[in-house]
Amino acid sequence: MTRTAPPRKPRAASQARIDSILQAARALLASEGVASLSIYSVAERAQIPPSSVYHFFASVPALLEALTADVHSAFRACIQAPIEPG
């Protein structure tokens, strides 16, 4: 029986590139809306080649899925943080 290895976390350089891509996508969504979001517009905003975006995200829906996961993660961190008495 073959075991499947768990997915590895991206290395620091890869994670930095992913963060840059997600930040560019967020900025484009905020300024121009979802209709103008493309792999090429994100690459231009992040100042990287489109092939670098495609390396991490195969499509715009995959990019939006990653953004959604990022937002959900931040939200979970907020609601799990202890509330200090006020």
Q: What separation, in Å, do the N-terminal and C-terminal C-alpha atoms of the chain show? A: 56
Percentage of the chain beyond pLDDT 70 is 90
pLDDT band at 2; cut points 50, 70, 90 = low
Is residue 48, in this structure, part of any structural domain at all? Answer: yes
Burial string for 10-37 (b: 16+ CB within 10 Å, else e) reads eeeeeeebbebbbebbeebeeeeeeeeb
> Would the pLDDT of 1 be above 60?
no
Rounded CA separation 25/37 (Å): 7
> Would the pLDDT of 14 be above 60?
yes
> At 36, which CATH number?
1.10.357.10
Q: Which domain holds residue 35?
A: 12-80
pLDDT value for 82: 84
Single pTM value for the model = 0.77
Is residue 1, in this structure, part of any structural domain at all? Answer: no
